[in-house]
Amino acid sequence: MATGNPGSGLQLRSLIRASGELELSLVRVEIPDPAPDEIIVRVEASPINPSDLGLLLGAADMSTARVSEGPKLTATVPPGLMRAMAGRLDQPMPVGNEGAGTVIAAGSDPAAQALLGKLVAGIGGAMYAQYRTLKAADVLPLPPGASAADGASCFVNPLTALGMVETMRREGHGALVHTAAASNLGQMLNKICLKDGVPLVNIVRSGAQVQILTDIGATHVVDSTSETFLGDLTKALVETGATLAFDAIGGGKLAGQILAAMEAALNQRATAYSRYGSSVHKQVYIYGGLDTSPTILARSYGMAWGLGGWLLTPFLMKIGPAEGQKLRERVAAELKTTFASHYTAEIGLAEALDPAIVAAYNRRATGEKYLINPNKGGG
């Protein structure tokens, strides 16, 4: 066995059985020796992002969660939601998009050897595990002074926020709208936009969230629960000229209201009647699903509009590795400022299966985020 290879380690698995049970468990998996271009990372910090929760808990009703031996957590998937789970039935899935930790073993390639003992961040799933083998070329070495917790959320949120700004530039828009804007990601986006001089309209769902964003310097913050929401939004769109929105909510009328307000803002500047509405393209990308109900579009905004899904991975594939690397380098350079993440609590692998703790991290409350340290307490 290669120097430093622990031989095996615990990995969290999520399984949905055809019988309608979700089962979370820890299994001991073998760790093969790394290939010449690979490294073994001892994972010390991996965040629970909304995108992880979908895979981790599936459509299970977590009020039915109970502990069984193993340690193991089981919960029931409502029969009506089983159809959406068809693609993953009876396949134990490892979980955890991203994380950071120490390189404890390395393949023979000099690039891999050079990382031995260093703290690195990685992405690619199966991070809720004591050890994760990765390609040396795919990890991001953390800058001096950064901890594993600092680097744990290096990829998903920072690259998503940068991807939004980059998408705006590539698709010819000059300003942005963001919903659920007081989130960790939303705060990051504000810092990027302030630094880059990109006008940003933040849509939040409470007065307290308005305060969070104005405190970090946001100029345009509108509250969708306010009676003056549509007027406030239109005014902010007139001021910024934003014609591109990223929406984490998905369901209900919000995406359509944004398109309608963009159209109203554009028409305030129009000089002649066009039966098809403004010819300026208005776009909303849905990148999350905080509201899983249907999207309702009144189509009161002419014909120059688009709505669609947006995901980080296809975006990175579209821009290519060289452009992606530039974004990653910016994340590393600004890890403790623009891209700083804050966590509500650090939990171990076994704690991630405790129903009370699951209930806490599954609340998805704005500003709350949990960090798993698979080697907490020595693993």
Among 311, 345, 359, 365, binds a copy of itself (CB under 8 A): 311
Phi and psi, residue 316, nearest 5°: -65, -35
3-state per-residue secondary structure call for 143-202:
CCCCCHHHHCCCCHHHHHHHHHHHHHHHCCCCCEEEECCCCHHHHHHHHHHHHHCCCEEE
Helix (H, G, I), strand (E, B) or coil at 31: coil
The verdict on 275 binding a copy of itself (CB under 8 A) reads yes
Closer to a copy of itself by Cβ: residue 117 or 306: 306
Is residue 229 packed enough to be buried (19+ CB in 10 Å), middle (13-18) or exposed (0-12)? middle
Q: Are 220 and 203 in contact (CB under 8 A)?
A: no
Q: Could you tell me if 166 and 324 are in contact, meaning their C-beta atoms sit under 8 angstroms apart?
A: no
Rounded Cα distance between 226 and 204, Å, is: 10
**Residue window 29-58: x/- pattern of binding to a copy of itself, with contact defined by CB under 8 A:** -------------------------xx---
**Under a CB-based contact definition with an 8 Å cutoff, are residues 338 and 195 in contact?**
yes
User: Residue 40 or 280: which CB sits closer to a copy of itself?
Assistant: 280
**How far apart are CB 366 and a copy of itself at their closest, in Å?**
22
Tell me which residue has tokens 């806490």: 360
Under 8 Å between Cβ of 240 and 199: yes
298 binds a copy of itself (CB under 8 A): yes
294 counts as binding a copy of itself under rule CB under 8 A = yes
Residue 365 touching a copy of itself (CB under 8 A): no
- Residue 250 binds a copy of itself (CB under 8 A): yes
Q: Is 128 in the site for a copy of itself (CB under 8 A)?
A: no
Question: Could you tell me the smallest distance in angstroms from the CB atom of residue 316 to a copy of itself?
Answer: 13
For residue 311, give both structure tokens.
């995901």
Cβ proximity to a copy of itself: between 48 and 213 the closer is 48
**Do the Cβ atoms of 224 and 205 come closer than 8 Å?**
yes
Shortest distance (Å) from residue 124 CB to a copy of itself = 14
Identified binder of a copy of itself from the candidate list 300, 336, 345, 359, rule CB under 8 A: 300
Q: How many residues in the shown chain lie near a copy of itself by CB under 8 A?
A: 39
Residue 309 binds a copy of itself, judged by CB under 8 A = yes
In whole angstroms, the minimum distance from the beta carbon of 379 to a copy of itself comes to: 27
Per the CB < 8 A criterion, the answer to whether 324 and 316 are in contact is yes
Helix (H/G/I), strand (E/B), else coil: 138: helix
Q: Would you count residue 18 as binding a copy of itself (CB under 8 A)?
A: no
Find the shortest distance in angstroms from Cβ 300 to a copy of itself: 7
Contact 132, 40 (CB under 8 A): yes
- Nearer to a copy of itself by Cβ, of 108 and 274: the residue is 274
Nearer to a copy of itself, 147 or 279 (CB): 279
290 binds a copy of itself (CB under 8 A): no
Interaction of residue 378 with a copy of itself, rule CB under 8 A:
no
* Minimum CB distance to a copy of itself, residue 255 (Å): 9
Q: In angstroms, what is the minimal distance from the CB of 370 to a copy of itself?
A: 19
Smallest gap, in angstroms, from Cβ of residue 378 to a copy of itself?
32
Min dist. Cβ of residue 256 to a copy of itself (A):
8
Minimum CB separation from a copy of itself for residue 306, in Å?
3
Angle between helices 156-170 and 312-333 (to 10 degrees): 110
Tell the burial category of 245 from Cβ atoms under 10 Å away from its Cβ (0-12, 13-18, 19+). Answer: buried
Burial of 68 (0-12, 13-18, 19+ CB in 10 A): exposed
Applying CB under 8 A, does 79 fall inside the site for a copy of itself?
A: no
Say whether residue 303 binds a copy of itself (CB under 8 A). yes
Q: Could you list the residues that contact a copy of itself (CB under 8 A)? A: 54-55, 84, 87-88, 91, 93, 250-251, 256, 267, 270, 273-276, 279, 286-287, 289, 292, 294-300, 302-311, 314
